[in-house]
């Protein structure tokens, strides 16, 4: 990848993270530091996957974030699921919606999915919702 193409892709990846999560998560900062080409490629994929409907995406960002929560729960990626749960809550996801999605994970992955990841994500989201100022 030519340097200017790599730099542009890295900049777009950083901009996408900042626009959708408010910052580049530490795990991805580490990837950027040690494998900028991989970060650039991932950033471009993420940019395409996380487009809002007004940018050509079919699903709204809240739904996409919920899907990412549920996929992370199914593979046991608790930290990622918590990040995406926070993002989804900021996009308007409710705790009942999250709980219903997590029940779908139990249907696919069994009760162990709840015990290993789902419960922690639900507790985290409930704490975030409780701490959020009511409007």
**Which of 8-12, 19-23, 89-93 shows the lowest mean pLDDT across its residues?**
19-23
Is residue 15 within 8 Å of 46, Cβ to Cβ? no
pLDDT, tens digit (0-9, with 9 covering 90-100), for 46-105 = 999 999 999 999 999 999 999 999 999 999 999 999 999 999 999 999 999 999 999 999
Same domain? For 66 and 97 the reply is: yes
Same domain? For 96 and 126 the reply is: yes
Residue 84 lies in a domain: yes
**Residue 16 domain boundaries:** 3-50
- Say if residue 135's pLDDT is above 70: no
Same domain? For 23 and 68 the reply is: no
Q: How many domains does the chain have?
A: 2
CA-nearest of 38, 36, 37, 47 to 13 is 47
Percent of the chain having pLDDT more than 90? Answer: 93
Burial of residue 123, with CB atoms counted within 10 A of its CB: 0-12 exposed, 13-18 middle, 19 or more buried: exposed
Spatial distance between the Cα atoms of 42 and 52, rounded to a whole number of angstroms: 18
Spatial distance between the Cα atoms of 18 and 95, rounded to a whole number of angstroms: 24
The model carries a pTM of 0.89
């Amino acid at each position: 990848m030519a340097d200017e193409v790599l730099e542009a892709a890295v900049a777009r990846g950083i901009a996408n993270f900042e626009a959708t999560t408010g910052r580049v998560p530490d795990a991805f900062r580490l990837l950027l530091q040690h494998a900028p080409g991989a970060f650039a490629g991932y950033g471009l994929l993420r940019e395409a996957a996380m487009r809002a409907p007004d940018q050509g995406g079919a699903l709204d960002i809240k739904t996409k974030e919920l899907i990412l929560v549920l996929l992370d729960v199914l593979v046991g990626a608790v930290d990622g699921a918590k990040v995406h749960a926070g993002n989804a809550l900021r996009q308007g996801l409710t705790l009942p919606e999250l709980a219903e999605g997590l029940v779908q994970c139990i249907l696919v992955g069994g009760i162990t999915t709840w015990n290993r990841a789902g419960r922690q994500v639900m507790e985290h989201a409930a704490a975030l919702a409780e701490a959020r100022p009511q409007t």
